[in-house]
Amino acid sequence: MVKFYSSTDTLSYPFPAVTLAYFLRYPNPYSTHVVSTDTISRHYDPETQQLTTVRLHLKRSKLPSAVLRLVPRSLLGASASGDTQSYILEKSVVDIRNGRMDTESRNLEWTGVLSVVERQSFIRPFPEAEKDAQMWKGMENAARRHGFLAFGPDAKVQDTGESTDVHSSVTLHSHIGEKWRKKRAPEDGGEGEEEPPQKVGFFNRWGTASLQRSIEMIGLKRARRSQPNAKEGMKVVLERMREGGLVAVLEGMRKDREAILHGGHHHHAFKNSRSPNDDDD
Amino acid sequence: MSASLAPECNEVKERYDNCFLKWYSEKYLRGTATTDDCQGLFKQYETCLSKVLKEKGIDNMLKEAREDNRENDAEHLRPVRSLGVFAQDIHSLVQKR
């Protein structure tokens, strides 16, 4: 069973700025749960001009109370209140020649309970020349249809190349209870759906499939809820870049980091937003 | 700049990050990069970080995550007969087997 969620969006910033903002997106006022970010490998291929980066993020999170009801805390390594930390592995490939950046983030731990794979592609719209040609053709036709030809060759389309398309998806997959079932199935001579109660513990109260479904649904809900925050975080970084370049981004990061270190939630942004992991069901 | 998982690596990480940002924005994004100018600094950062990754057992987690066929791996784990062993089984995904 797999849950899948996807969305498409446009950022009104040029592709190169978006890729830079991706690398600089933590810390931002919406990411106080991100404790650290490290680059663990980076490779530049001069032939293809592709840059491959692997980073490791440590995020603080609070397990949803719904999960805590389903799975014992001891199994999840969480504290009594559900506080936990998780490592996220992020891989990205920037292809500057083709105007494309593909990213993938996944949790490193508890993948048996729930594996969450988040993918984002940032794409530079049509190359300018091609787009202009298309636009021009379209306008000419429209103008002809409407009986006038008002557009001269100087007519410039605003914002061409100043936006970036974003495709996001989240794939959730729970394998909880599966290994046991697979192992037992041949001996039981069946699918192994009905497991002997004395051996299955809490799994039998649910049945593996419904437990997986429940966990995936909780994960899906959480992923949906965190999407707007992730988007806002990127936008904050991009706005800083537009206003004051790299210097402003770095200065903003310094302030955000201080705020995180002091546990401060003083930024006005928090008034209207919840921390992505601060959910009860 | 973002903090490192290992506070003792913050300084060398910052030096590397600064180098990377300069290279990325001034050369890579303009399509003029011929080499990665920051490899030397990255090696220093990596040396510092790898110690911590090993201490925390993260290096093993990374190795496993990089093998794309995680699911297949899971098939070969030892059989799980009770919840207690199941918990151990999950731990073995995190720590070295």
Predicted local confidence at residue A279, as pLDDT: 41
Predicted local confidence at residue A71, as pLDDT: 73
- A41-50, B44-53, B62-71: range with lowest mean pLDDT: B62-71
Domain of residue A254: give its range. 3-177+214-263
Give residue limits of the domains in chain B.
1-58
- Section A4-13 average pLDDT: 91
A37-93 pLDDT tens trace: 999 999 999 999 999 999 999 998 777 777 777 776 666 666 666 677 889 999 999
**Would you say residue A172 lies in a domain?**
yes
**Would you say residue A280 lies in a domain?**
no
- A81-85, A249-253, A269-273, B48-52: range with lowest mean pLDDT: A269-273
**Are the beta carbons of B9 and B41 closer than 8 angstroms?**
no
Q: Which two tokens stand for residue B64?
A: 């496993």
A26 touches chain B (CB under 8 A): yes
Q: Find chain A residues with C-beta within 8 A of B61's C-beta.
A: 87, 108-109
| Alpha carbon distance B15, B36 (integer Å) | 15
Predicted local confidence at residue A142, as pLDDT: 57
Residue A231, domain CATH: 3.30.530.20
Taking the whole predicted model, whether its pTM rises above 0.80 is answered as no
Smallest CA–CA distance, residue B82 to chain A, in Å, is 5
Mean predicted lDDT score pLDDT of chain A = 77
Smallest CA–CA distance, residue A133 to chain B, in Å, is 24
Tally of domains in chain A: 1
Predicted local confidence at residue A123, as pLDDT: 96
Question: What confidence tier does A154 reach under pLDDT thresholds 50, 70, 90?
Answer: very low
Which residues neighbour A261 within 8 Å (Cβ) at sequence distance 6 or greater?
Answer: none
A94-107 pLDDT tens trace: 999 999 999 999 99
Q: What is the ipTM of this complex?
A: 0.72
Cβ of B89 within 8 Å of Cβ of A112? The answer is yes
Which residues neighbour A198 within 8 Å (Cβ) at sequence distance 6 or greater?
Answer: none
Predicted local confidence at residue A8, as pLDDT: 94
Query: Nearest chain A Cα to B21, which residue?
Result: A20
B53 touches chain A (CB under 8 A): yes
B77-87 pLDDT tens trace: 433 333 333 33
